[in-house]
Chain A
Amino acid sequence: MKDTASGPTTAVSNPPVQPTEAYFDQGDITRISATRNVPQPDRELTKLAKLIDVSKCIGCKACQSACVEWNDTDPGVGENVGVYENPHDLTPDMFTLMRFSEWENPVTNELEWLIRKDGCMHCEDPGCLKACPAPGAIVQYSNGIVDFNHDNCIGCGYCVTGCPFNIPRISDTDHKSYKCTLCSDRVAVGQGPACAKACPTQAIVFGTKDDMKAHAEGRIEDLKSRGYENAGLYDPEGVGGTHVMYVLHHRDQPGLYANLPEEPRISPVVEGWKGVTKTAGLAVMGIAAAGAALHGLFARPNEVEEHDEVEADRLVDGRDPQDGGQV
């Protein structure tokens, strides 16, 4: 056994147990919310991905359990409202959720119980990051991971609006936004995400995006041989592809899987805002961004145009309080 393990590869078997070298760090950040001209790192990391094979998933919630344990969250003991989803939705304390859909296939007349692990998709083109007005609250690494830096989060909820998958949740307690980090802290030291490690059927696998796509091809072939003619990979182009992908039996109907979006896109409002925030936007909310943990964050002033001002106001006024935004 080597003293140290190499960077993450396809973690379809157990991840390494020996200590590993740091694999990536803040120097690998390529995008920062509300920040222009982020200095680009010298190296470009291999793109990573988590692949969730819905056809292998048994809905056991070991991933949810591992997520709670690793992130040390407390989703609380809720109640049963007549469904298997518990908690009932993603929460600031539950970054991933099994969603169960009962569907009677009109072609075969057979019932299908479609179980999808919901959570952050880690878009290559992250709507949350583009929408975020707080400098440094959301970052993306060159390997594709989209991470939140809670020190910089102002709890405005723009990320919720910006997310085409309705993922981030704002905490009522600390007014910060939370979502799956793809276990960036584990991946950084050569471990796979906690959910992938806990998954008993290897429905969740993790590795380079190329490896995951190749793995998915084999799975899709298997599903087609079992009569799922429309089996396919969900890696939607509208957000530049994602670093969490699904193998679906019915790729032609993603909506069957608890309303997985057919063609997810970043809201035109967010896109129109050019992904840039401005101090005026912050002033509207009366909250100041605190802390600049990341290198080069405030190195350059943000430029605000009149158009941006207008769009910012629209966003703030049109905000749905249900999204948990703080005013």
Chain B
Amino acid sequence: MTNAWTDIKNTDLVVVMGGNAAEAHPCGFKWVTEAKARRGAKLIVVDPRFTRTASVADYYAPIRPGADIAFLMGVIRWCMENDKVQWEYVRNYTNAAFLVKDGFGWSEGMFNGYDEETRSYDMDDWEYQIGDDGFAMIDPTLQDPRCVWNLLREHVDVYTPEFVENVTGTPKDKFLTICEMIGECSAPDRVMTSVYALGWTQHSKGAQNIRGMAMLQLILGNIGMMGGGVNALRGHANIQGLTDLGLMSNLIPGYMNIPRDTEVDFETYIAGKANAPLRPNQISYWQNYPKFFVSFQKAMWGDAATAENDWAYDYLPKLDVPTYDILRMFDMMSKGEVNLYFCQGFNPFLSFPNRAKLLSALSKLKLLVVMDPLQTETAHFWQDHGIYNDVDMASIQTEVLELPTTCFAEDEGATVNSGRWLQWHWPGATAPGQAKPDTWIMSNIFLRVRELYRTEGGVFPDPIVNLNWEYEDPMEPSPEELAKEMNGRALRDVYDLADPEKLLVPAGEQVSTFAHLRDDGSTMAGCWIFSGSFTPEGNMMARRDNSDLGDTGTFLKWSFAWPLNRRILYNRASADMKGRPWDPERTLIEWNGEKWVGFDVPDTAPTAKPDEVMPFIMTHEGTGRLFSRKMMVDGPFPTHMEPFESPVENVLNRKMRGNPAARIFPGDLEQLGSSADFPFVATSYRLTEHFHYWTKHNKVNAALQPEFFVEISEELAADRGITKGGRVRVWSNRGEIWAKAVVTKRIKPMICDGKPVHVVGIPLHWGFMGAAKKGFGPNSLTPFVGDANIQTPEYKAFLVNIEPAAEEPVA
């Protein structure tokens, strides 16, 4: 989230698209209810299904799964056509005025420079024109045909309301009604918020869906505003913390990168992170990367990380591919290239696509270790459960170790919510049986492995034997010790860079801000963005003062929000070029002539002059990006792409399939189905009664939603002879499932590219373990392909067929 859950109460318009907040985030959804009840806010839902969120919405429109970009580009076009633009914001706070290189262009649904062989674009020209002064060239009048604004106008020109209707299936009148409701929020005193979740991410172009909304919010001037922003509703209680702490194969904590093998030494690596500002006076805060990186290396390897050995740069692994994401790992596993797999807090056998491939992959492992509080399907993948897991047990030789862990309610520590709040919590119960905290298990494994390296040596034992492990009980580092380590502390006295006499942090003391981190080895911090969470004053995450100064919803004394307890990112953009709030009713921060003051921690330097320093301090430009340069592999503007399995061709380019820049492995491509064999669009989703694959283990949840089902329209039911409550078989080119049929008016056929499109809704939550009736997950059907930028699997749009099935034989 750019903003926070509590901030949603400040909005005028909530757009739920690519999510189903009432269903999947019912507790957070209370803030939408607040905005509606207290401010008279309106709620729009755009979804293939009339969802529980739609049931309390002011306006609902259907959309074909996977057609969101066309919809969003259509809204942007409408806003540009109808002057629904926050002009002062767009001119100054976005890169609308920046001039783009001549080589950049777009035709027939593709950007220039596509190479079919490598499935990638030549991105060299996706960049600004650089002037003689070394800065990007701009045209503040927005007249230059090469400025971003005019390129965007040209880019969205195709997305007329008629085009949108034809591609998305959203009736034109409904689309236009929504455009008008959204357009009102271009006024400085009207604010819209976007809340989305996996409905936008789980596509082969998921990141571009979100880009589309981010661009729209910039055009409306809603980023940085109270009640505005682009707000990802995270699916697990601590999935935000997972990404913050770099639990991705290509990241280290605080959104820094694992080096690529091309970055052969520290110098090359850091040179690639130079991040010089592209406009005068701009902050370009990532210029501080070396301070955060060196402090991370010191946290990892302590005294072994020295200036002489480039802060132990060589200890870090070097990626030979962009990521070893889970799709890649399972693909390698299916080829027998993985021997041992540690599965911690994760149930991939139901969570990842193409279960048949997962089964084959897991069966090729020598050893699978599952650390989980529950008996997961992954740990029991080898067990025969009839049609629900039809395996030949004798043929599977994988050894499986289940290590029972504590669950969140038995642990102490912080979880990071969607609004970036690190909320400390305490155990509510004692763990059952032999369950142990994950840290205990990991420590015990590590200490044994380190001992082996010490005694037996190895190819490169240094990163293991030198790992910093200064905990009171090495077998079980305490949550407090780990939290302090992530916050960071001074290793030597740290002085003010502007005033060498001024001592900021004495040696040994916790830092209170990442501004005190240094690249000379005098500080350490495990995760720089968490600096300030555990200061000399104590554990800021454990604060529970719910007073709210100014009734802004910022709650600055409740827990800690990264970065620096800031509750609304880019909040500098809530004020104009003179530092006055766009909307006095929504005063968050303002310029008092000398510095920024207000109800939130200013997202700029405290004395940064409002007419000089632009609000987006993390970008090189100082502005938000309507044109995202080379940041994304599938284009600097979102362009309409069909899902890999689609009932219709891409009307922009009928030869194009899916996202042309997305990676798809050989074998998986061949397993894609066609609409001739699989005429219906399937989409998967969560239900309120359950949480992922956990709560089916709980009798109460299982009672409230006991059995796997799929949802279809009355029209499709009639067409296929399916009755309400009857049993059906659903199959894709990768597998088949059996389910009960819920026949509903909440799903209706749409007309796209001239033909009717039927949607089959497939909730997840069932498997073959637990208290609920045995069932299937949608992953028996889904394609093994992910988003081009971050590899999130395409779970929201794929093709299936459906037919009535005989009742399940009584065993």
Instruction: List chain A positions with a Cβ less than 8 A from chain B.
Output: 55-62, 64-65, 68-69, 74-84, 86-87, 94, 102, 104, 110-115, 200-203, 219, 222, 225-226
Contact = CB atoms under 8 A, between A and B. Distances in A.
B40 A111 contact: no
Contact of B742 (A57, A82, A219): A82
Contact of B706 (A79, A115, A222, A225): A79
Contacts of B744: 102
Contact of A80 (B36, B37, B53, B709): B709
A10 to B, nearest CB: 14
Interface stretch (B25-33, B299-307, B461-469): B25-33
A61 B37 CA distance: 21
A84 B724 CA distance: 12
A87 B707 CA distance: 11
B33 A113 contact: no
Interface of B: 22-23, 26-27, 29-30, 33, 36-37, 40, 50, 52-56, 58, 60, 688-689, 699-709, 723-726, 740-746, 771-773
B119 to A, nearest CB: 41
B539 to A, nearest CB: 22
A202 to B, nearest CB: 7
Contact of B726 (A65, A76, A82, A219): A82
B60 A58 contact: no
Contacts, number: 122
B33 A56 contact: yes
B726 A80 contact: no
A87 B705 CA distance: 8
7 contacts: A79-B740, A80-B708, A80-B740, A82-B742, A82-B743, A84-B742, A86-B689
Instruction: Identify whether the interface residues of A are mostly helix, strand, loop, or mixed.
Output: loop
Nearest to A115: B55
A86 B725 contact: no
A115 B26 CA distance: 15
Contact of A77 (B23, B743, B772): B772
A113 B742 CA distance: 15
A25 B746 CA distance: 47
A111 B773 CA distance: 31
Nearest to A59: B52
A68 B704 CA distance: 10
Contact of A60 (B26, B703, B771, B773): B26
B740 A81 contact: yes
Given A58-B29, A222-B40, A65 B700 contact: yes
B801 to A, nearest CB: 20
Contacts of B704: 61, 64-65, 86
Given A58-B23, A59-B52, A201-B29, A78 B706 contact: yes
A56 B37 contact: yes
Nearest to B708: A80
B725 A76 contact: no
A113 to B, nearest CB: 4
Interface centre among A78, A94, A225 (most CB of B within 10 A): A78
B26 A86 contact: no
B314 to A, nearest CB: 51
Given A112-B55, A201-B33, A86 B724 contact: no
Nearest to B687: A84
B419 to A, nearest CB: 16
A80 B728 CA distance: 13
Contacts of A62: 26, 688
Contacts of A201: 22, 26, 29-30, 33, 56
Given A61-B688, A77-B773, A104-B745, A69 B50 contact: no
B56 A82 contact: no
A83 B741 CA distance: 9
